[in-house]
Amino acid sequence: MKLLRRLLSPVFWLLLSLCVAGLLAIVGASLYFSPGLPDVHQLQDTKLQTPLRIYTRDGKLIGEYGDQRRIPVTYDEIPETFVDALLAAEDSNFFSHPGIDPKGLARAAVQLASSGSIQSGGSTITMQVARNYLLTLDQTFTRKIREILLSLQMEEILSKQEIMELYVNKIFLGHRAYGIAAAARTYYDKSLDELTLAEQAMLAGLPKAPSSFNPLTNPQRALIRRNWILLRMKELGYIEPQAYDEAVKAPITAARHYSRPEVQAPYVAEMARSFAVDRFGDKAYTDNVRITTTLDSSLQPMARDALTKGLIAYDTRHGWRGVEESDIAASLAEAQDQTDQAGLEEELSKSPEVLETAKQAAQKSEKRIAGIDRDVSNWLKVLDRTPDYGPLKAAIVVESTGKQMKALLADATVVTLDWDGLKWAREYKSAKWRGGVPGSAAEIAKAGDLVRVIKQDDGYRLGQLPDAQSAIVSLDPESGAILALQGGFSYSASKFNRAIQARRQAGSIFKPFVYLSGLEQAGMSPATIINNAPVVLQDGGKVWRPENAGGKFTGPTRIRVGLYRSLNLVSVRLLQTVGLDKTLDFLVKLGFQRDELPNGLSLALGSASLTPLEMARGYAVLSNGGFRVEPWYIDTITRGDDETDYEAHPPVACANCA
């Protein structure tokens, strides 16, 4: 009787009607929206936007280009505690629900009904994957229904691990970091397995709102959310109370870490980037293109250091041209106007810690630096927008008394420059004239001036950006592979690649090719005698009287002596004997372009305008036994999932091969 009464109860029938109506609504929605849904199977072959990366021949990174910084990882590469942190933050029932969380959706519906606006979407991780990969981000009921239907399909096709892998590689976590591996590098400069529990929880809090919970831009809100996630992990049994207690006490250690090359070779990286864009267009920046160059990771730093040290030594011998910028305080207003919002956010987030660090550094110095409390924050803003040039670091003088100078660096440390690192700064007058040795540090620079400093084994010394420029290139003589290349003192200061673009008169280093022409074309030997005596020539309708350095003449001279002593008159007479046309024909065989060589006897003195790379190619022929090689720098190109797009197979010189 009671059962019959319940069956006849209006409430029972009302509830049954609502359930049937809901079921019919779900079936109807499925029938209506299913034909227009994206194919979930495409997620199994999805390709994430991954930046262009360029490496040395032994796998060291030299360049990365692209708007989205991403390092794809597999599920097995994610630490278990990191997965737990994501579940605690986003979807604790992920491994048990069928793709949707009915309670979460009901809660979102109640919030909508009570507030009149969407407060939360009740989205599971599966639903977020559906939205991020297959749908738009519009907050509409139609998109939500499509999202639910796709999530149910995904759970039938993909495993939970595959869905989680898609999730962690796609999510945006602020500051150009897409995916958790890229975020670990961006905020902590660590790999996933190096992160602490507190750092994992901090990153797990970012997907909800990358800007609001960002440890750099909003450290207090980020700390609150991190600790809430840690509490959730403890409540869910993911971590022990002791681990929780230690993690919530951990300070915020996040900082902005830019993608740093393992080997400094920006000129070669730009050459490879340009090559990739010519080959793939804009997709070079998104299609996981990886270029392996011929660069040697041990030789490149040596070449770069040799070039920068040589230019600094040359520049130092010519004197001090003055501070880079004076009266820093007056320039701060203009600098503030030019600072973009992103820069402001970074400065605001780090100012308290940086200011305190600078104060502590000043207190540790022998004498308290007057005014640093007042000026250091503004000075750090100037240093933050001032690039370093090679080994030259930007610094602002905070004290200059006696024969010692103290300077503030961009990392808020204060360094001391002793007199041994200052006394070279005699005033530059001209290329051949310097002023006297300064009497004190104050004569060189005063407090508030922007200067350059160089770190050496025995401390810091004063420096300046050299006026002169240079380039260096090293080739494998047997294959022509570029092993090292530096196109200037600093890529930050000048993007012009002098190694491959700058044409300068070769000078005396061109003479060996002229002498080689004599050996090859005219049957000469090293013992052949040429008269080292004055000569008067007609060149282009003008009278030309070439001379040796020092104006001395030695009469009959063997050409081997003329070569190692670089005697101009022997070189000119040798070219005259062989003949200009024959010599030009021979030089073309070595790889030089005829239209780039002067059609006159001045060729013997190196009047041809050539690039350093062209000269290196010519000398490679001398080194490898007479084989002409072509310089190259791209070894392999892979695209997507290790698909080889290009592989170099250059001819190799082999003087002793059959």
Examine the pLDDT at 111 and tell me if it is beyond 70: no
pLDDT band for position 568 (cuts 50, 70, 90): very high
Structural tokens at position 325: 């910028």
3-state secondary structure of 592: coil
Q: Model confidence over 524-549: pLDDT tens digits?
A: 999 999 999 998 887 667 888 898 98
pLDDT band for position 42 (cuts 50, 70, 90): confident
Residue given tokens 């207690």 in the structure block: 245
Instruction: Specify burial of residue 266 (Cβ count, 10 A radius: 0-12, 13-18, 19+).
Output: buried
**Are 74 and 128 a contacting pair, CB within 8 Å?**
no
Q: Is the Cα torsion angle 408, 413, 416, 422 positive or negative in sign?
A: negative
Task: Report the candidate in 501, 499, 504, 512 with the shortest Cα–Cα distance to residue 564.
Answer: 512
Examine the pLDDT at 571 and tell me if it is beyond 80: yes
Q: What is the 3-state secondary structure (H, E, C) of 627-650?
A: CCCCCECEEEEEECCCEEEEECCC
Task: Report the candidate in 178, 166, 199 with the shortest Cα–Cα distance to residue 70.
Answer: 178
> What pLDDT shows up at residue 114?
54
Q: Is the Cα torsion angle 461, 464, 470, 472 positive or negative in sign?
A: positive
Instruction: Give the mean pLDDT of 229-243.
Output: 94
The span from the CA of 300 to the CA of 267, in Å, is: 11
Instruction: Give the mean pLDDT of 369-398.
Output: 80
Structural tokens at position 98: 């069928």
Q: In which order are the strands placed within the sheet that holds 450-456? A: 414-417, 404-409, 392-401, 450-456, 459-463
The span from the CA of 599 to the CA of 611, in Å, is: 18
> What pLDDT shows up at residue 357?
42
Provide the CB-side half-sphere exposure for 423 (13 A, CA).
Answer: 7
Q: What's phi and psi for 295, nearest 5 deg?
A: -65, 140
> What pLDDT shows up at residue 141?
61
The alpha carbon of 386 is separated from its chain's Cα centroid by a whole number of angstroms, namely 17
Provide the β-strand partners of residue 287: 50
Q: What's phi and psi for 99, nearest 5 deg?
A: 120, -25
Residues 6+ apart with CB under 8 A from 62: 54, 55, 56, 261, 262, 263, 264, 265, 266, 268, 269, 293, 295
The span from the CA of 142 to the CA of 511, in Å, is: 78
> What pLDDT shows up at residue 269?
97
> What pLDDT shows up at residue 152?
85
Instruction: Give the mean pLDDT of 58-67.
Output: 93
> What pLDDT shows up at residue 352?
47
- The DSSP result for 439-471, as a single string, is SSGGGT--TT-EEEEEEETTEEEEE---SS---
> What pLDDT shows up at residue 429?
92
The span from the CA of 290 to the CA of 639, in Å, is: 6
Task: Report the candidate in 237, 234, 83 with the shortest Cα–Cα distance to residue 164.
Answer: 83
- Highest-scoring range by mean pLDDT, 148-157, 304-313, 375-384: 304-313
Task: Report the candidate in 369, 456, 353, 352 with the shortest Cα–Cα distance to residue 408.
Answer: 369
Structural tokens at position 114: 């009570």
> What pLDDT shows up at residue 565?
94
% of the chain beyond a pLDDT of 90? 60
Structural tokens at position 279: 């080959």
Low-confidence winner among 193-202, 293-302, 364-373, 594-603 (lowest mean pLDDT): 364-373
pTM value is 0.80
Type of residue found at 334: E
Examine the pLDDT at 609 and tell me if it is beyond 90: yes
Average model confidence (pLDDT) for the chain? Answer: 84
Instruction: Give the mean pLDDT of 234-244.
Output: 93
What value does the CA radius of gyration of the chain take, rounded to a whole number of Å?
Answer: 35
Q: Model confidence over 9-25: pLDDT tens digits?
A: 665 555 555 555 544 45
% of the chain beyond a pLDDT of 70? 81
Query: Directed axis angle between helix 197-204 and helix 219-235, to 10°?
Result: 110
Q: Is the Cα torsion angle 445, 446, 447, 449 positive or negative in sign?
A: negative
pLDDT band for position 153 (cuts 50, 70, 90): confident
Low-confidence winner among 22-36, 435-449, 451-465, 576-590 (lowest mean pLDDT): 22-36
Examine the pLDDT at 75 and tell me if it is beyond 80: yes
pLDDT band for position 335 (cuts 50, 70, 90): very low
The span from the CA of 418 to the CA of 438, in Å, is: 13
**Are 181 and 191 a contacting pair, CB within 8 Å?**
yes
Q: What's phi and psi for 120, nearest 5 deg?
A: -150, 155
Instruction: Specify burial of residue 427 (Cβ count, 10 A radius: 0-12, 13-18, 19+).
Output: middle
Q: CA angle, 342 as apex, 340 and 345 as ends, to 5°?
A: 110
- Burial annotation 329-339 (CB, 10 A radius, 16+ → b, else e): eeeeeeeeeee
pLDDT band for position 178 (cuts 50, 70, 90): very high
Task: Report the candidate in 389, 466, 464, 463 with the shortest Cα–Cα distance to residue 421.
Answer: 463
Task: Report the candidate in 398, 390, 394, 421 with the shortest Cα–Cα distance to residue 409.
Answer: 394
DSSP letter, residue 654: -
Q: Output 604 or 136, whichever has higher pLDDT.
A: 604
Task: Report the candidate in 310, 303, 312 with the shortest Cα–Cα distance to residue 465.
Answer: 312
Instruction: Give the mean pLDDT of 110-132.
Output: 66
Q: What Å distances lie between residue 611 and 268, 617, 621, CA to CA? A: 16, 10, 16
Longest dimension (CA), the chain: 137
Do strands 450-456 and 433-434 pair parallel, antiparallel, or not at all (unpaired)? unpaired
Residue given tokens 């299913």 in the structure block: 34
Do strands 542-544 and 61-65 pair parallel, antiparallel, or not at all (unpaired)? unpaired
Active site residues: 90, 508
The span from the CA of 591 to the CA of 468, in Å, is: 29
Q: Phi-psi category of 116—alpha, beta or left, where left has phi over 0 and alpha has psi -120 to 50?
A: left
> What pLDDT shows up at residue 2?
54
Low-confidence winner among 224-233, 367-376, 462-471, 530-539 (lowest mean pLDDT): 367-376
Examine the pLDDT at 115 and tell me if it is beyond 70: no
| Helices and strands (H, E) in the chain, number of each type | 22, 22
The span from the CA of 575 to the CA of 601, in Å, is: 7
The span from the CA of 596 to the CA of 500, in Å, is: 14
3-state secondary structure of 547: coil
Task: Report the candidate in 306, 279, 308, 276 with the shortest Cα–Cα distance to residue 291.
Answer: 276
Q: In order of start, what are the domains of the chain with their CATH numbers? A: 69-248 (1.10.3810.10), 328-463 (2.40.50.140), 504-610 (3.40.710.10)
Structural tokens at position 206: 């970012």
**Are 310 and 469 a contacting pair, CB within 8 Å?**
no
